[in-house]
A and B are shown apart, each in its own frame.
Chain A
């Protein structure tokens, strides 16, 4: 039984139906947020302080964060995640030709627009009843692996990485810096950094070798992306039924060369993050609590098997489980499903603490079942309407433009780490020579380049925190690289056999259709839900990884993942007086979820003065 909260059960054949005897099966009673006691403590103006990270954003999407910290007890008492900008792609897309969604939704992100194009394409393919030829699917997989090979280094070395650099560690925990300088790095023979202090120096922004190499390394996958798909990050070559690129063996050779270039750097990088993580744990085991939260996560999987993917909802469980990243939901560390239909049925969005009207007020529900007849919640994206309702910020009431997506009414987080976790736990990865899912780990075999051939194994961690998110992200670099490598080899095979078709002809259907793109971004889960009529979009709903991660409290009183991670974070930095407090532990927790688009934010101390500038994630509310 995969659901424990939703009133849906499955028979022996796997068919879903509503539990009997429940009058209003999806109804719920929202819980009130009470903070009278907290307000009283804050009013005393003692060691309980308001801490706000407030954004100055120059692009669509921004996150700000409000917390209440007890600086004496060194813990956080309240956390509120705030998406400050309404974007409204769902509103923009209404009434347009379905194919416009590919190009318009791409603009939802300035880093990885291609993931939105592809999710839109898969939703359209489901609605149109078409799918790409095998080489089209391989090309699409390759595009999205290259995309992430750009994305991962950004996170690891340019956005999250500086939190572990010498300049930050020395300023916030000087004793740790002294220890790092004299602690040998266990994998120095591979990554060439003799001590942990050397690794930290290499993470220094603007001057550190890892920072600069990370910047340079982003160029390599982008070049390959441009060779195959014309341009990055908003490709015009993603089309329903495949890709519109004309590709030759030369293009794949050029891609192959670039993947080779990334191989050694990736081997070094994985071990570097291993060394860094273990050092923090050893220095102070309390670091295992930074960004900690329940092992609850979700991923839709991605990288379709060219022989299985047919875009149909009826067969989504089969082609989903054949993916190179296995779909799944993990609850309390256990994989509870790998079936895309169950992932879809369990999804609901709530807006009690968001700046939206509830679309269910009149009781009209567009779809009571999914296309296979399984019960669908009125809070499901196929039933949702985006109805913005700006109002005053209130921590007790509404405070964000992000909705609260939940799965089976439980708080789940999304990320590249969720992708590697569900894949490792499921043991369903297609058989190949470079990657193996063992049920408790993912083995990555990387061939010899300048460095020797090496085997890595990402093991499902015992603890779940900021460090494990970053470490998993480093392993995801190897995982992605070997998926890309395999896809190039598959492309060679198809071309050798003369199977060079990359797209399928189609006609736009005129009747009412639904579709969903079950896909992933560099930072995890991505779904596009679509309703069409006469070829035009009637409803379009995007749920991004940051919609999950940056979500506010839900009507059941559960905080969103950022909020929960901060509430569980101990304050470990050194400071004598409140004005010296930098919030670095909280920032490590938030950034480990993967900063997306930039917003320069300012953290305010008790005196409400700017004490630190940070970059953090903003790819959130409403796509």
Chain B
């Protein structure tokens, strides 16, 4: 679904899904989400899916959600995070929606307004301001190379297609309701 068609008829699609990939550019495997966003935005998607660039400050993103004429039922986000798994591990999980304490939220907002892009900040800020649907699915890869670089390491590069297939599975789940 294009944003324009959604604006024209916001109630038309069932199980509206927002898809994005989060990460800084040129940071090797840590740019997994951002690079995949670039791939996905050029693909054809079912009418109920909208692919959007959310690689900007999370406060701006919560304001974008607030202003959006489309209220999404599900958000699917692709990213990379170092969680001590084997490099290249690809996981799909539902975000539990748990927020840190007030000081933690305030710290996230402080970072968000001053230019930090991160999946964690995005989720916390948007959840705090009540703009995220309950159904938030994360597709996350374990990076091998985390410093400056234009390319993925081979173990991460090998999972690109699979990650996009997982996004496709998740968006179709929403359509089935």
Measuring CB to CB, which residues of chain A are less than 8 angstroms from any residue of chain B?
A: 58-59, 109-111, 154, 158-159, 162, 205-206, 215-216, 218-219, 222, 233, 595-598, 600, 613, 615
Is B113 part of the binding interface, using a Cβ–Cβ cutoff of 8 Å?
A: yes
The residue from B102, B105, B114, B128 contacting A154, defined by CB atoms under 8 A apart: B114
Contact with A along B100-126 (1 / 0, CB 8 A): 001101110111011110100000000
Shortest CB-to-CB span from A256 to chain B, Å, is 20
Shortest CB-to-CB span from B117 to chain A, Å, is 9
Which chain A residue shows the least CB distance to B67? A219
CA distance A358 to B76 in the complex (A): 52
Measuring CB to CB, which residues of chain B are less than 8 angstroms from any residue of chain A?
A: 57, 59-60, 63, 102-103, 105-107, 109-111, 113-116, 118, 128
What are 21 A-B interface contacts by the 8 Å CB criterion? Answer: A59-B111, A109-B115, A110-B57, A158-B109, A158-B113, A205-B102, A205-B106, A205-B109, A206-B106, A206-B109, A215-B59, A215-B109, A219-B60, A233-B115, A595-B114, A597-B115, A598-B111, A600-B110, A600-B111, A615-B107, A615-B110
By the criterion CB–CB under 8 Å, are B115 and A59 in contact?
Answer: yes
By the criterion CB–CB under 8 Å, are A110 and B63 in contact?
Answer: no
Shortest CB-to-CB span from A593 to chain B, Å, is 15
With A215-B59, A219-B63 already in contact, the answer to whether A58 and B116 are too (CB < 8 A) is yes
Give the residues in chain B near A598, CB-CB below 8 Å: 107, 110-111, 113-116
Give the residues in chain B near A219, CB-CB below 8 Å: 60, 63
CA distance A158 to B116 in the complex (A): 15
Which chain A residue shows the least CB distance to B106? A205
Nearest 6 A/B pairs, CB to CB: A110-B115, A615-B110, A598-B111, A598-B114, A598-B110, A205-B106
By the criterion CB–CB under 8 Å, are B116 and A159 in contact?
Answer: no
By the criterion CB–CB under 8 Å, are A59 and B114 in contact?
Answer: yes
By the criterion CB–CB under 8 Å, are B110 and A158 in contact?
Answer: yes
Shortest CB-to-CB span from B51 to chain A, Å, is 18
Which chain A residue shows the least CB distance to B111? A598
By the criterion CB–CB under 8 Å, are B106 and A110 in contact?
Answer: no
By the criterion CB–CB under 8 Å, are B118 and A206 in contact?
Answer: no
CA distance A205 to B105 in the complex (A): 10
Shortest CB-to-CB span from B147 to chain A, Å, is 14
By the criterion CB–CB under 8 Å, are B109 and A600 in contact?
Answer: no
By the criterion CB–CB under 8 Å, are A58 and B118 in contact?
Answer: yes
Q: A206-B106, A597-B115, A598-B113 are in contact. List 20 more A-B contacts (CB 8 A).
A: A58-B111, A58-B116, A59-B116, A110-B57, A110-B116, A111-B113, A111-B114, A111-B115, A158-B110, A205-B109, A206-B109, A215-B59, A215-B109, A218-B59, A218-B113, A219-B63, A595-B114, A600-B110, A615-B107, A615-B110
CA distance A599 to B115 in the complex (A): 11
Shortest CB-to-CB span from B26 to chain A, Å, is 11
Which DSSP category, helix, strand, loop or mixed, fits chain B's interface? helix
Give the residues in chain B near A109, CB-CB below 8 Å: 115
The residue from A59, A595, A600 contacting B107, defined by CB atoms under 8 A apart: A600
Shortest CB-to-CB span from B74 to chain A, Å, is 25
CA distance A216 to B109 in the complex (A): 13
CA distance A419 to B111 in the complex (A): 26
By the criterion CB–CB under 8 Å, are B60 and A222 in contact?
Answer: yes
CA distance A598 to B109 in the complex (A): 9
Shortest CB-to-CB span from A54 to chain B, Å, is 15
CA distance A222 to B63 in the complex (A): 12
Shortest CB-to-CB span from A194 to chain B, Å, is 26
Shortest CB-to-CB span from A236 to chain B, Å, is 14
CA distance A110 to B60 in the complex (A): 13
Which chain B residue shows the least CB distance to A600? B107
Give the residues in chain A near B114, CB-CB below 8 Å: 59, 110-111, 154, 595-598
Shortest CB-to-CB span from B27 to chain A, Å, is 12
Which chain B residue shows the least CB distance to A113? B115
Give the residues in chain B near A154, CB-CB below 8 Å: 113-114
Give the residues in chain B near A59, CB-CB below 8 Å: 111, 114-116
CA distance A110 to B111 in the complex (A): 10
Give the residues in chain A near B107, CB-CB below 8 Å: 598, 600, 613, 615
Give the residues in chain B near A162, CB-CB below 8 Å: 106
The residue from A206, A233, A595 contacting B105, defined by CB atoms under 8 A apart: A206
Give the residues in chain A near B118, CB-CB below 8 Å: 58
By the criterion CB–CB under 8 Å, are B110 and A206 in contact?
Answer: no
Shortest CB-to-CB span from A300 to chain B, Å, is 23
Give the residues in chain A near B106, CB-CB below 8 Å: 162, 205-206, 615
Which chain A residue shows the least CB distance to B64? A219
Shortest CB-to-CB span from B99 to chain A, Å, is 11
Which chain B residue shows the least CB distance to A150? B113
CA distance A613 to B111 in the complex (A): 13
Give the residues in chain B near A600, CB-CB below 8 Å: 107, 110-111
Shortest CB-to-CB span from B53 to chain A, Å, is 11
Give the residues in chain A near B116, CB-CB below 8 Å: 58-59, 110, 598
Give the residues in chain A near B111, CB-CB below 8 Å: 58-59, 598, 600, 615
With A215-B59, A218-B59, A222-B60 already in contact, the answer to whether A206 and B102 are too (CB < 8 A) is yes
CA distance A222 to B106 in the complex (A): 21
Give the residues in chain B near A111, CB-CB below 8 Å: 113-115
Give the residues in chain B near A233, CB-CB below 8 Å: 115
Shortest CB-to-CB span from B12 to chain A, Å, is 27
Chain B CB within 10 Å, residue with most, of A110, A162, A216: A110
Give the residues in chain B near A158, CB-CB below 8 Å: 109-110, 113
CA distance A154 to B111 in the complex (A): 11
CA distance A595 to B107 in the complex (A): 13
With A205-B102, A215-B59 already in contact, the answer to whether A159 and B110 are too (CB < 8 A) is yes
CA distance A613 to B59 in the complex (A): 20
The residue from B59, B60, B113, B128 contacting A206, defined by CB atoms under 8 A apart: B128
Which chain B residue shows the least CB distance to A234? B115
Give the residues in chain A near B113, CB-CB below 8 Å: 111, 154, 158, 215, 218, 598
Which chain A residue shows the least CB distance to B105? A206
CA distance A111 to B113 in the complex (A): 7
CA distance A158 to B109 in the complex (A): 9
CA distance A222 to B60 in the complex (A): 9
Give the residues in chain A near B60, CB-CB below 8 Å: 219, 222
Which chain A residue shows the least CB distance to B62? A215
Which chain A residue shows the least CB distance to B107? A600
CA distance A192 to B111 in the complex (A): 30
CA distance A215 to B131 in the complex (A): 15
